[in-house]
Amino acid sequence: MSQKSIPPTWLKPDGSVLSCVEKIKVLNENIDELRELAQDAIDDAVLMGGTQAQIKQVLLDMLKGIHSQYPEQK
């Protein structure tokens, strides 16, 4: 029951398009893995009596609090 969405166009900090095929592949794979983990977390929450709305809010809050350990490349 995988819901694949159209991959984003990955951008560099200056707004230009990221063109390295391997970098794009890794970024898309990371998004797919996160989507699967998020889906599992949502399903677990619902199966254990929680709500989709709450687990989604928890996931969003967590993402908002995560920042790169590295400076953006110029």
Position 13 scores a pLDDT of 93
- What's the pTM? 0.82
- pLDDT higher than threshold 80 for residue 51: yes
Q: Which has more pLDDT, 4 or 21?
A: 21
User: Mean pLDDT across the stretch 25-43?
Assistant: 97
What b/e sequence results for 21-44 when a residue is b if at least 16 CB atoms lie within 10 Å of its CB, and e otherwise? Answer: eeebeeeeeeeeeeeeeeeeebee
